[in-house]
Structure 1
């Protein structure tokens, strides 16, 4: 595997915001926490959920309690509430068929990432599932990327994601990155990436031009 594409999942391959948003609010309700404004909420997909809860000022014990409620919801209805972004399932299948290494590098837990990608019909085109560990020990994007590198050892990796932690995590390992604009990031985040793609067609052009 010489050319390896590291795909983020939430905000890159699938739009999972409806389920994540509701699960987040379920977690807040479980601990009686006030709902933040929508500007905050729309930024929660991507980073580990405990980080978003800590950013609200929660103490560790409160985060744990909120996360239990969040995880319970996501284990049932929540993980199923998503749509595949236009063109991404076909692109992943085509690149995999042509010999590109296709892996994930997501802060979504391995359990939910596997279930979502299987439901989306993409799991069979993923060579390695790089995800946060189910116990939450491996959660930050840089830790997930290290996990991928330790298991895949790609020679020419390229990170593809929608948020700042995708690009900064990749940069920690001198890996170039592509920002996709259909996810949950903002323009100031995209500027941190080496390339910017506005749709699946442009992303494919970037991948082929770069490699």
Structure 2
């Protein structure tokens, strides 16, 4: 069995680093700066898509992304916290023969730095993310790329994440998905996107993975 994990909102809580870096970029552009709690919707979607929506599709989007990365690469990626129970979960899955991968819309290099910093890289066979030119920022493209590189059967794999993009990307590539509710997507968002199951705490996640959730129904009623 193979498990693909989202990073932001699934393995770690990146709110402080992401929202402060968005605020930094907006300030540098002379734009109004929302409160951090009004920017949490930026956690999960591809960065360029978030800034496109935030800036109304203006020609400043690419510069906003550059400014965001300027701060995030130096400070923001470390303004982060591993969710309680995640290291124990990953160790349990690894010891039970589950091959683990990271599948994040975040830049691959940033994802690796974060996972190295928190000593989580050792659990994963590989860490996949987007490129500087925004290739593979869309989860559909990213998971397709992972399948091309790793050549595993999607029916033997599951995608775990906190936003609809994770479920949509999984479904487009023939994978089942598990939605986790401790991140930044709502329960309804995840159910509407077609997750096979909702899980409320990291300590409850091993069982549905080990039960080969790829064979579960694609939709579930809200608990």
Q: Do the structures match in fold with TM over 0.5?
A: yes
Structure 1 unmatched runs, 5+: none
- For 1:103, what is the secondary structure of its paired residue? strand
- Equivalent residue for 1:160? 160
Aligned residue among 117, 120, 125 for 2:118: 120
The 4+ residue runs of structure 1 with deviation greater than 6 A are: none
Displacement, 1:170?
0.5
- Equivalent residue for 2:52? 54
Matches within 5 A, 1:46-85: 46-59=44-57, 61-85=59-83
Q: Which fold has the larger relative contact order, with Cα–Cα distance below 8 Å and residues 6 or more apart in sequence?
A: 1
- Equivalent residue for 1:94? 92
Structure 2 unmatched runs, 5+: 214-223
- Equivalent residue for 1:170? 170
- For 2:127, what is the secondary structure of its paired residue? strand
Tell me the alpha carbon deviations over residues 25-76 of structure 1, each in whole angstroms, 9 at most, x when there is no partner.
1111111122346664111111111111111244453011111111110111
Q: TM-score, normalised by structure 2?
A: 0.88
Q: 1:111·1:134 contact (CA, 8 Å) conserved in 2?
A: no
- For 1:104, what is the secondary structure of its paired residue? strand
Displacement, 1:206?
1.1
- For 2:205, what is the secondary structure of its paired residue? helix
Matches within 5 A, 1:4-15: 4-15=2-13
- Equivalent residue for 2:207? 205
Aligned length: 209
* Structure 1 vs Structure 2 CA RMSD: 1.5
